Structure 1
Amino acid sequence: MRKSVPVCLLIVLLAVPALGADEAPKSPWSGSLGLSFLSTTGNSQTQSLGLDLGAKWVSDPWGLEFVGKFLRSSKGGTTDAERSFAGVRGTRSVSERWSLFAGFSGERDTFAGFDLRAVVEGGATYKFLLGPVHELAFDGGLTWTRENRVVGKDRSFLGGLLGATYKWTLSETAAFTEKLRLYPDFDQTSAWRITSESALKASLTGRLALQLGYDVRYSNRPVPGFRKTDTATTVSLVASL
């Protein structure tokens, strides 16, 4: 009986590390890559390419998020739309619902009238709904914007940021998201902007999903000679990284 006690202890000591190995720590990194492509030939010759990259790092209370977008379309061999965007935002949680943020973004869209629009932002986020079905958060803060325009004088000005981010989990494999942003211009009050990004995403496999997106960008006082509203509809294949 005495000999069996050391044997039992040895078995327990060997089993504990094995149990811990099954519970690997969750990686603080997550990301996704979306790709869309359309090409037609014959009576009409069109091509469009879309790329959407997202990466997020979370180590409570800190967080970091990167977003990159590229969209290009051509008709008859002539480019009629091209837009690129890259942005990074850092966050710091101060409670379950409140957090602070600071970020920087750069955007190029010559078909909307600017070679570069750089925005520095900072403010606070309040989580109104915490899920699991509905998630809703509001942003508020200040911005500094620099615009290098295709025509006319370049601009630098102080502005604001009011935003809402919403997620509706329809099922275990489907979700709807909406990201709405209002950018007031403190220098020219009539030159405010609104952006809206809507997406419906459905999982195909554990890592692949199909996504339908619709983006709207509205400028109440656009660059002279350009329209106020731009829209983009995309159907893309998204891979979780």
Structure 2
Amino acid sequence: MKKLGIFITAVSILSTAIGKENNSHQWKTHGELSYVKTSGNSDTETFATKIETNWKKTVNRLLGKGEFLYGKTDNKENTNKLYLLGRWERLLNERLFGFLQGDYLRDKFSGYDYKTVWSVGFGYDIIKSEKHTLKGLVSIGYTLSQYKEDGSKDYTTGTTELDYKWKIRENLTFKQLLRYDVNLENTDVYFLKSDSSIAVKINAHFSMGVGYKVAYQNKPPTPDVEKTDTTFLTSLIVDF
């Protein structure tokens, strides 16, 4: 209960009196779909999907994200991962904002049944230009992990994140996300995440993209789990 006190304090800070806002708002949705199937000497099948939606209205911004990855080889499942994220941002000035965020991860082959993180923090729009945007976030949160073996554990988490976007050309965009999560009660337990992607526009709504993801955990729950997971995908992208 003591750990949850930071969230009550944060809510009161971020829920300051809302000034007058105009009625203009904007929804943007980004979806990716990838599917690969091979047969012959080895039968493989991989399916991945990602959807992300953003909403902005003067001083409030919402972000929702969902990712699902599934794979099997010779009819044996080897990948089954679901990741969900929701974040509310409240602008405090032109670049500084506070936020509340919830993360949920279910990864069948990482040693966890699930892991959920509830966090509060501050972010800063470090670069805001037509070609480059860079956002930095720092937060403290509460993590609950349910292990496949040896029960569950909860702890306080510190998180740092950088989110970069470069519009190289009118039809070519590069994105890079870096995230670091650490158990503040045992700093030997930490997680690193890198998500790199590049997309080429076909028309106003469709693009083709390639992405490379790296997920690293310094101390997996069981010795038989690899510390590093990598994923390379080619996807059809839809923006509207």
Bin of the TM-score, shorter chain as denominator length: 0.7 to 0.9
Which runs of no fewer than 5 residues in structure 2 stay unpaired?
A: 1-22
Give, in whole Å, the separation in 1 of the partners of 2:117 and 2:175: 23
- The TM-score, its normalising length taken from structure 1, stands at 0.87
Give, in whole Å, the separation in 2 of the partners of 1:55 and 1:72: 22
The match for 1:217 is 215
Q: 8 Å contact 2:190–2:217 — kept in the other structure?
A: yes
Equivalent AA in structure 1 for residue 64 of structure 2: F
SS at match of 1:223: coil
Give, in whole Å, the separation in 2 of the partners of 1:56 and 1:208: 18
Give, in whole Å, the separation in 2 of the partners of 1:26 and 1:132: 21
Give, in whole Å, the separation in 2 of the partners of 1:39 and 1:27: 41
Q: State the Cα deviation string for residues 102-133 of structure 1 (Å, max 9, x = none).
A: 11111100100111100101101111111222
The match for 2:40 is 42
Q: 8 Å contact 2:26–2:57 — kept in the other structure?
A: yes
Task: Please tell me whether residue 84 in structure 1 is matched to residue 71 in structure 2.
Answer: no
The structure-2 alpha-carbon separation of the partners of 1:66 and 1:204, relative to structure 1 and needing over 3 Å to count, comes to: same
Please, what is the CA RMSD of the aligned residues? Answer: 1.2
Over 4 Å off, 4+ runs: none
The match for 1:237 is 236
CA apart distance, 1:155: 1.0
Report how many residues are paired: 217
Give, in whole Å, the separation in 1 of the partners of 2:62 and 2:125: 17
The match for 1:207 is 205
CA apart distance, 1:26: 6.7
Give, in whole Å, the separation in 2 of the partners of 1:36 and 1:26: 34
- The TM-score, its normalising length taken from structure 2, stands at 0.88
Give, in whole Å, the separation in 2 of the partners of 1:158 and 1:27: 35
Equivalent AA in structure 1 for residue 96 of structure 2: W
CA apart distance, 1:163: 1.1
SS at match of 2:197: strand
CA apart distance, 1:27: 5.2
Equivalent AA in structure 2 for residue 228 of structure 1: K
Give, in whole Å, the separation in 1 of the partners of 2:113 and 2:43: 27
CA apart distance, 1:95: 1.1
CA apart distance, 1:179: 0.8
Task: Please tell me whether residue 228 in structure 1 is matched to residue 227 in structure 2.
Answer: yes
Task: Please tell me whether residue 71 in structure 1 is matched to residue 75 in structure 2.
Answer: no
Equivalent AA in structure 2 for residue 206 of structure 1: A
The match for 1:17 is none
Task: Please tell me whether residue 54 in structure 1 is matched to residue 63 in structure 2.
Answer: no
State, as a whole percentage, how many aligned pairs show the same letter.
Answer: 24
Q: State the Cα deviation string for residues 116-154 of structure 1 (Å, max 9, x = none).
A: 100101101111111222211211110111111111231
Q: State the Cα deviation string for residues 161-196 of structure 1 (Å, max 9, x = none).
A: 111111111011111111111111112110011111
The match for 1:196 is 194
Equivalent AA in structure 2 for residue 62 of structure 1: N
SS at match of 2:183: coil
SS at match of 2:109: helix
Q: Of the candidates 162, 176, 179, which is equivalent to residue 181 of structure 1?
A: 179
Q: Of the candidates 78, 95, 103, which is equivalent to residue 97 of structure 1?
A: 95
Give, in whole Å, the separation in 1 of the partners of 2:180 and 2:85: 17
Which runs of no fewer than 5 residues in structure 1 stay unpaired?
A: 1-24
Give, in whole Å, the separation in 1 of the partners of 2:230 and 2:65: 19
Equivalent AA in structure 2 for residue 33 of structure 1: G
More helix by share: 1
Give, in whole Å, the separation in 2 of the partners of 1:228 and 1:217: 8
Equivalent AA in structure 2 for residue 239 of structure 1: V
Which of structures 1 and 2 has the bigger CA Rg?
Answer: 1
Equivalent AA in structure 1 for residue 231 of structure 2: A
Give, in whole Å, the separation in 2 of the partners of 1:48 and 1:128: 37
